[in-house]
Amino acid sequence: MSEQDEEFARLRWHCRRGMRELDELLVKYLEEHYRGSSEAHKQAFRQLLELQDPELLRYLLGKLVASDEYVAHVLAQIRSHPDT
C-alpha cells in the first residue's frame, strides 16, 4: 500500500463520527474531492476532522463561519452534497 493510500485509509477512519449524517458527508467529500484538491484544501479538511462533532456540525449548518478561506471552501463543498 502506498503512502497516499495509507493516508486515505487513515482519513476515512477519521471520517467515522458519532453521527451517521456527518460520516456520510465527510466520506463523500473524501471520495469525491480530496485527492484532486490542493494541499491547502487537504490541510483544511484534515483541520475539520480534528473538530469535535458538535462544533463541526455547527460549521456545516452555517451557525459558525470559518475565517480561513480554505476551510470555508471545503465546508461549501461538503454542504453541496446534502442528499447523502
- Domain of 56, CATH number, reads 1.10.150.250
CB count in 10 Å sphere of residue 2: 7
32 in a domain, yes or no?
A: yes
43 in a domain, yes or no?
A: yes
Ranges of H-type helices in 1-84: 3-14, 20-29, 39-49, 53-60, 69-79
84 in a domain, yes or no?
A: no
Say how far apart CA 81 and CA 69 lie, in whole Å. Answer: 19
* Cα dihedral value 70, 71, 76, 78, nearest 10: 120
pLDDT digits (tens, 9 = 90+) for 12-53: 999 999 889 999 999 999 999 999 999 999 999 999 999 999
48 in a domain, yes or no?
A: yes
If you search the block for the grid coordinates 460549521, which residue do you land on? 59
What total number of domains does the chain contain? 1
42 in a domain, yes or no?
A: yes
- Domain span at 28: 3-79
30 in a domain, yes or no?
A: yes
pLDDT digits (tens, 9 = 90+) for 36-47: 999 999 999 999
